[in-house]
Amino acid sequence: MPDSGLNETPPRRADAESVAIRDLAYADLPAVVSIEHRSFTSPWSPGMFVLEMSKESTVGLVGEFEGRIAGYIVLSRYDRAWHLMNVAVDPDRRRTGIGGDLIATAFGRIGEADPVTLEVRASNRPAIALYERLGFRPAGNRHAYYPDNGEDALIMWRGDPAAAGVPGEALGER
């Protein structure tokens, strides 16, 4: 995933009341895929969204601002851990609290005690800053994980990986 750059002067925060967070629906996919294409060098296809949304364990949410979809999140459960599969905010609406609100709302849906993991490009400092703020901690690297540029993935966990059956020695450099 690309590094979208660190903003020196964040824009004004959106009013909490002005961002409506609701379930992701198939009808949202054109708007979601548009944001996806403006957010990632290797974007998910519509079919990838449909596949994740078809799983019973998936939590998919969108955030609407002034009647338009401004961001989305997809979280899926595999075995004993939740995986933060995708999150993005419209480039024009970033740094106004929407990404953090989406993640916090998704956590509210799955239960605070459940461990959550994700992979993020090592260069994606905005996302890593957001994840750390929400309680994720680095737990190893996947070497050359991203085929488009050979970049490493940073693995992060929120909660105890051991509770998801992942032994400590499995979290090192790979």
Candidates 60, 99, 159, 161; binder of ligand COA (CB under 6 A) is 99
Query: Do residues 81 and 115 make contact, with C-beta atoms less than 8 angstroms apart?
Result: yes
Closest CA to 118 of 101, 96, 105, 135: 135
Tokens in use for 23? 């379930």
96 binds ligand COA (CB under 6 A): yes
Q: How far is the CB of 129 from ligand COA (least distance, A)?
A: 4
Q: How far is the CB of 67 from ligand COA (least distance, A)?
A: 18
**Which long-range contacts link 147-152 to residues 24+ away (Cβ below 8 Å)?**
147/42, 148/41, 148/42, 149/41, 151/121, 151/122, 151/123, 152/121, 152/122
Q: Which is nearer to ligand COA, 96 or 117 (CB)?
A: 96
Instruction: Spell out where 14-160 has E strands.
Output: 19-23, 59-65, 68-78, 81-89, 116-121, 137-146, 151-158
Pairing state between β 151-158 and 116-121:
antiparallel
95 binds ligand COA (CB under 6 A): yes
Q: Which stretch binds ligand COA (CB under 6 A): 23-31, 49-57, 107-115, 124-132?
A: 124-132
Q: Say how many residues touch ligand COA, by CB under 6 A.
A: 23
Site string for ligand COA, 54-93 (x = CB under 6 A): ---------------------------------xxx----
For the question of residue 119 being annotated catalytic, the response is yes
Residues 18 and 60: their CA atoms lie apart, in Å, by 20
34 binds ligand COA (CB under 6 A): no
Strand partners, 70: none
Query: Do residues 131 and 137 make contact, with C-beta atoms less than 8 angstroms apart?
Result: no
Q: Which stretch binds ligand COA (CB under 6 A): 4-12, 42-50, 108-116, 165-173?
A: 4-12
> Which residues are the active-site residues?
119, 131
Residues within the interface to ligand COA (CB under 6 A): 1, 4, 6-7, 10, 39, 87-89, 94-100, 120, 124, 126-127, 129-130, 133
